[in-house]
Amino acid sequence: MNPILADIYSTVIPSALFVIAAYVLVWAVLLIYVIKVVRGLKKTEEQIAVLEEAVRASRPPQG
């Protein structure tokens, strides 16, 4: 093998673990963030539904 390539590979290959770990960490944080946002959205939708029901109940019947 070319000595220059051997030197490059000896530098890159050991650090590949850190690159993979960084990607895993970023994806894990992103996944946790998305889960929290979805839970918050569901809670907000439930609160809006309760408010809509309260508004409908407080209106006088028309007709």
Please identify every stretch of the chain with a pLDDT value under 50, giving residue numbers as ranges.
none
pLDDT for position 10: 82
Residue 55 vs residues 34, 43, 60: alpha-carbon distances, Å? 31, 19, 10
Q: What is the rounded distance in angstroms from the CA atom of residue 63 to the CA atom of residue 57?
A: 16
pLDDT for position 47: 98
Q: Kindly write down the DSSP assignment for every residue of 1-62, as one continuous string.
A: --HHHHHHHHHHHHHHHHHHHHHHHHHHHHHHHHHHHHHHHHHHHHHHHHHHHHHHHHSPPP
